[in-house]
Amino acid sequence: MQTRLVNGELRVRYTDGSIDTLALINPQNWWPIEQDYFVDGIGFTTNAPRPLRLQLKTGKVVSTPQEYSTIKGFTNMAIDGGAATILDMPLNRNKDLLSVSLHTFANDVVIGLMSVTLAR
């Protein structure tokens, strides 16, 4: 991932033609699937709250660091089975939703959208 710039964008289009967007910026709201970041607030900070993560192997949703494994020579904060980042994008309740789309901008970036849940 390209860090500290917009890697992609989630766009919500309403029937009136207006659009709301959620920028996907690593490490603020978009984390890698295979590991968590070591955030110490000194040498490395995200300048954002830790995102909710869905552990893909267990189905658990976590907001705090969990037990990690190692990817030899790379990280000791690997997540067994990987973890998805859960995003929250409030919609305009006074408008009718037309579509949701995902757009990528940065080179060497793979972005996937696993699901969308709409809740009132």
> pLDDT by residue (tens digit) across 30-88?
899 999 988 888 888 888 998 999 999 999 999 887 889 999 998 899 999 999 999 99
Strands (E), 26-71: 52-55, 61-62, 69-71
Q: pLDDT tens-digit profile of 12-42?
A: 999 999 999 999 999 999 899 999 988 888 8
Whole-angstrom Cα distance, residue 64 to residue 26? 18
pTM here is 0.85
